[in-house]
Amino acid sequence: DKKSPIPARVGLSLMGWKPKTQAEYALEYLEVDFENAKNAELTPFQGIIEKGKDFFLTDERGMWSIYEELYTSFKDKIKLNTTVTGIKYNSSMVEVTTSDGEVYTADYALCTFSTGVLASDMVTFTPPLPEWKQEAILTMPMAVYTTIYVKFPTKFWDDKEIILYAGPTRQSIAVFQDLQRPGIYPNNSGLLLITVTGDEGRRIEKQSLEDTKAEMFKMLKGVYGPNISEPTDIYSPRWTQNKFVRGCYSEGTVGMTSKTFENLAKNLGNLYFSGEANNEEWYSYMQGAYFTGENQAKSIVKANHCKEKPQNCTVSGTDSFRACSPVVSTTIMSIWLLQMFIG
């Protein structure tokens, strides 16, 4: 029942799942923490419903190549390496100030900052974001999902897609993914992917990569014995430390309802909002970001059309987007593009 949300722990207990052993907790970790980056006490019950089958995809062109075709038509308008520090908005325009002192004025703006950025004081909104918007932002905080890719000269781990490590404490439970399996990377990648979440991820992201490598090696020796080969390399993004994201993706807290998503997406005058956290069905996921961006772009086109032709403002859907996009593209500023390619 979306109207009276309960923690996953309550829902699971009601369904008869009452873990006692470390192995049972590890299984629960795979279903709850690994997906939601939060334990069953903090995850809303409605958040653990499986949305579809997961696939591990690799593509050497990189994720951004999916969007290449989309952005090439307005490549020249993208401003990189520029940080937004202030946004003034009202019902006729939006003014964006950047850290280099430039001021950009537009009829409309679409803001796609993560809820981590919106909840921080990185950008000053004038007037300040209303309380109902702030509440919605804070209800969908950024989760910590720390991926640690460790490279070894030879594989010593189990020949399984997913290996669950039921460490001595609940904090030490981790998921290992065998990336040397055929079809993932070219032969003999020697890669093991270890994922930790929540507080454990936060702790590890404060370490140097050398310290993380040493800690993972020690932990793996405890699992597979002292004779395993030493790791030769490590890659582990520190998303909590990246001030332009401040976590990995939004995850609802107990108490989120449909209203949360409605309020996140609600425009403030001519300032519109999109991004993964705004999509009730696909929050946390890239398709959530995509769908909300597309929908809000259509809303802006519609609002602009209504302003210019109030007598005929019933356009909707993709047609209106196509009909108006050349005009509107000169007056919409998409704030996220400013930082899109910063590592």
Ligand X SMILES: Cc1cc2nc3c(=O)[nH]c(=O)nc-3n(C[C@H](O)[C@H](O)[C@H](O)COP(=O)(O)OP(=O)(O)OC[C@H]3O[C@@H](n4cnc5c(N)ncnc54)[C@H](O)[C@@H]3O)c2cc1C
Three-state SS at 166: coil
**Residue 228 engages ligand X in binding (rule: CB under 6 A):** no
**Residue 273 engages ligand X in binding (rule: CB under 6 A):** no
Q: Which of 8, 12, 32, 84 binds ligand X (CB under 6 A)?
A: 84
Binding residues with ligand X: total (CB under 6 A): 26
Q: Which of 144, 192, 289, 303 binds ligand X (CB under 6 A)?
A: 289
Q: Which of 239, 261, 272, 321 binds ligand X (CB under 6 A)?
A: 239
Work out how close the CB of 70 gets to ligand X at its nearest, in angstroms, rounded to a whole number. Answer: 12
- What value does the CA radius of gyration of the chain take, rounded to a whole number of Å? 23
Distance of CA 162 to the CA centre of its chain: 22
**Residue 34 engages ligand X in binding (rule: CB under 6 A):** no
d(CA 125, CA 113): 13
Query: φ, ψ for residue 196 (rounded to 5)?
Result: -125, 160
User: Of 37 and 220, which has the nearer Cβ to ligand X?
Assistant: 37
Residue 22, number of CB atoms within 10 A of its CB:
18
Three state DSSP letters for 210-245: HHHHHHHHHHHHHHHCCCCCCCCEEECCCHHHCCCC
User: Of 152 and 336, which has the nearer Cβ to ligand X?
Assistant: 336
**Residue 279 engages ligand X in binding (rule: CB under 6 A):** no
**Residue 275 engages ligand X in binding (rule: CB under 6 A):** yes
Q: Which of 12, 94, 109, 117 binds ligand X (CB under 6 A)?
A: 117
Work out how close the CB of 117 gets to ligand X at its nearest, in angstroms, rounded to a whole number. Answer: 4
Q: Which of 276, 300, 303, 320 binds ligand X (CB under 6 A)?
A: 276
- Give the interface segment with ligand X, choosing from 102-110, 219-227, 245-253, 303-311 (CB under 6 A): 245-253
Work out how close the CB of 276 gets to ligand X at its nearest, in angstroms, rounded to a whole number. Answer: 4
Which residues contact residue 204 at a Cβ distance below 8 angstroms, ignoring those fewer than 6 apart? 146, 148, 196, 212, 215, 236
Which residues contact residue 217 at a Cβ distance below 8 angstroms, ignoring those fewer than 6 apart? 150, 228, 230, 231
Q: Which of 13, 19, 27, 83 binds ligand X (CB under 6 A)?
A: 83
**Residue 129 engages ligand X in binding (rule: CB under 6 A):** no
Helix (H) / strand (E) element for 334: namely strand 332-334
User: In this chain, which residue has its C-beta nearest to ligand X?
Assistant: 339
User: Of 144 and 301, which has the nearer Cβ to ligand X?
Assistant: 144
User: Of 245 and 300, which has the nearer Cβ to ligand X?
Assistant: 245
Residues of 233-251 as b/e, b for ≥16 C-beta within 10 angstroms? ebebeebbebebbbbbbbb
Q: Which of 13, 134, 147, 172 binds ligand X (CB under 6 A)?
A: 147
Bridge partner list, 87: 96, 125
- Give the interface segment with ligand X, choosing from 29-37, 68-76, 167-175, 335-343 (CB under 6 A): 335-343
d(CA 58, CA 145): 18
- Give the interface segment with ligand X, choosing from 26-34, 168-176, 202-210, 240-248 (CB under 6 A): 240-248
Distance of CA 139 to the CA centre of its chain: 15
DSSP state of 45: G
Work out how close the CB of 306 gets to ligand X at its nearest, in angstroms, rounded to a whole number. Answer: 27
Q: Are strands 84-89 and 124-126 parallel, antiparallel or unpaired?
A: parallel
What is each CA distance from 219 to 78, 180, 319, in whole angstroms?
45, 20, 56
- Give the interface segment with ligand X, choosing from 3-11, 114-122, 173-181, 260-268 (CB under 6 A): 114-122
For ligand X, the binding residues (CB under 6 A) are 83-84, 112-114, 117, 122-123, 145, 147, 239, 244-245, 248-249, 275-276, 284-286, 289, 336, 338-340, 342
